[in-house]
Chains A and B, each alone.
Chain A
Amino acid sequence: MHGINNLLLLMVILLNFFTLGSSRLGACIRAVALQGAVISILPITLHGINGHSVILATGAFVLKGIFIPWLLFRAIREVRIRREVEPLIGFIPTLIIGALTTSAAFIFADNLPLIEAHHGSLFIPTALATLFTGFLLLITRRKAITQVLGYLMFENGIFVLAVLLSEAMPLMVEAGVLLDLLVAIFIMGIVINQINHEFSTLNTERLSALKE
């Protein structure tokens, strides 16, 4: 079981890198969707098959793996954009910063006072690395959709961290978190449409410019 967990978490980290390095929005959405699907398996592989973990896994899979990507794909179809053209920081620099933060996450996780069972597992470093990657996407990209992806990735990192605690957490709290996410994506979808409607582009920079 330990091996499977590590393999899944490794995939999560590789998908982080892929999303940072890719300019195509479709590919990015697919990568984040795949990441969501991969981490939704984690509760089952970590805690075994029981009611709690199965509900959590299916809930996360349907939301993160299918429904939200579908919403995002609809959004990019409606606003007709394909790629992130000019990020604030280029793709290679963000990749390198991403790799540095990932290494930092590994070093930091080693120094945390964790309980014995979590020592040496990839869960904490992966969660931290995914959080940082989400941040990076949020900071460096101009298009609203990529920023939503960054937010999603951020949430994926929190999910990985929460999987460790899912034994102790009531189902209600987790359902609440997933619902929050969904509502947020809904609202962002509406906002994206509005931005597009007003400016006929998705550059969020236009929002901070004064109207002439």
Chain B
Amino acid sequence: MIGNTLLHLAILCVLSPLLLGVIGKTKALFGGRNGAPFLQPYFDLWKLLRKGMVISETTTWVFLAGPVVALAVPLLAAMLLPFGALPAPVSFDGDMILFVYLFGLARFFTASAALDTGSSFEGMGAAREVTFSCLAEPTVLFGLIVLARLAGGLSLQEMLSPELLESWQNAAPSLGLTLVSLFVVLLVENSRIPFDDPNTHLELTMIHEVMVLDHSGPAFGLILYGAAMKLFVLGALVVRIALPFTFNNLLLDLLVFVAGMLGLAVLIGVVESIMARLKLVRVPQVLVGTTLISAFAMVLLLR
């Protein structure tokens, strides 16, 4: 039990920045550049953690709670989610709701920290972030309902059990649609292109990046690390649905999972390279479309 938990946490903490490195490398290759080394995100984090912090005098404790919650939530959420075939350390009926709303909690604190600075610019970013994620939330829930219905259980462990392989044979259309819409949610939630550009510093188009402008040094490092972990956790959900193989061999299972995650990172890099960022007004339209697709996946299954 303890070993399992430690392994889970170790995978999460060690591998999550690597995904960002792989995404960066893929984008660089598409652009015909060599790109930063795979370990660059680790160096960045290390650099940020050693720096000093500048904190505005008008802020309160909420400002610092934002980064801390943003780091703690992915750690907690990862406990509920099986990594590939490795079982989840904590599992109970209905933990899928907790899983979804843990991220809601993180969003609340990040938005509050942004509002706490009193900057109207950051308030605008918070408003955008909250709007888009409230449109993405139904998609996740519809997707999870499809999984719950297929598995006949309400915990993520049951929903992502090896039986998923059989479900792929019986209900491939529903699962396929769910997979696509969850991938879109992954892109929205982690503010990737085509919904938000993680590298942009063009003021009017930023969403997530706006909210964290005032954070510096270790606080910003925590935010980046938390974002990497969030990408990893949500990615693990998508990867498990796409690759529901179980070999009952720790090493082999781990290999499949890590290969899947790296494949996902490459896929995100490819999407970011070949797509342009959507106009801000188009984003809600696309998200409503995704919600409808995942709702349709549910209708397809329930009929």
Chain B binds chain A: yes
A107 CA / B299 CA spacing, docked (Å): 9
How many residues from A make CB contacts under 8 Å with B?
19
Q: Which residues of A contact B177 (CB under 8 A)?
A: 10
Task: Pick the contact of A99: B173, B295, B303 (CB < 8 A).
Answer: B295
A151 CA / B296 CA spacing, docked (Å): 24
Does B172 make an interface contact (CB < 8 A)?
A: yes
Question: Contact: A17 with B289, CB < 8 Å?
Answer: yes
For B172, B173, B288, B292, the residue with the greatest tally of chain A CB atoms inside 10 Å of its CB is B292
How many residues from B make CB contacts under 8 Å with A?
14
What residue in chain B is nearest A129 (Cβ atoms)? B296
Q: Digitize B270-303: 1 where CB-to-A-CB distance is under 8 Å, 0 elsewhere.
A: 0000000000000011001100110110011001
Task: Pick the contact of A95: B172, B288, B300, B303 (CB < 8 A).
Answer: B288
CB contacts under 8 Å to B, within A105-157, are 106-107, 110
A91 CA / B285 CA spacing, docked (Å): 8
Task: Pick the contact of B288: A7, A13, A14, A92 (CB < 8 A).
Answer: A92
Question: Contact: B172 with A3, CB < 8 Å?
Answer: yes
A191 CA / B174 CA spacing, docked (Å): 42
Question: Contact: B284 with A106, CB < 8 Å?
Answer: no
Does A21 make an interface contact (CB < 8 A)?
A: yes
B residues apposed to A, CB below 8 Å: 172-173, 177, 284-285, 288-289, 292-293, 295-296, 299-300, 303
Q: Which residues of A contact B292 (CB under 8 A)?
A: 17, 95-96, 98-99
In the assembled complex, the CB of A20 is this many whole angstroms from the nearest CB of chain B, namely 9
A sample of 25 cross-chain residue pairs with beta-carbon separation below 8 angstroms, ordered by A number, consists of A3-B172, A6-B173, A10-B177, A10-B300, A13-B296, A14-B293, A17-B292, A17-B293, A21-B285, A21-B289, A92-B284, A95-B285, A95-B289, A95-B292, A96-B288, A96-B292, A99-B292, A99-B295, A99-B296, A102-B299, A103-B299, A106-B299, A106-B300, A106-B303, A107-B303
Main secondary structure of the interface of B (DSSP, over half): helix
What residue in chain A is nearest B180 (Cβ atoms)? A14
A103 CA / B142 CA spacing, docked (Å): 15
What residue in chain B is nearest A92 (Cβ atoms)? B288
A95 CA / B287 CA spacing, docked (Å): 11
Question: Contact: B295 with A7, CB < 8 Å?
Answer: no
Q: Which residues of B contact A21 (CB under 8 A)?
A: 285, 289
In the assembled complex, the CB of A10 is this many whole angstroms from the nearest CB of chain B, namely 5
A17 CA / B294 CA spacing, docked (Å): 12
In the assembled complex, the CB of B183 is this many whole angstroms from the nearest CB of chain A, namely 15
A97 CA / B25 CA spacing, docked (Å): 42
A17 CA / B180 CA spacing, docked (Å): 15
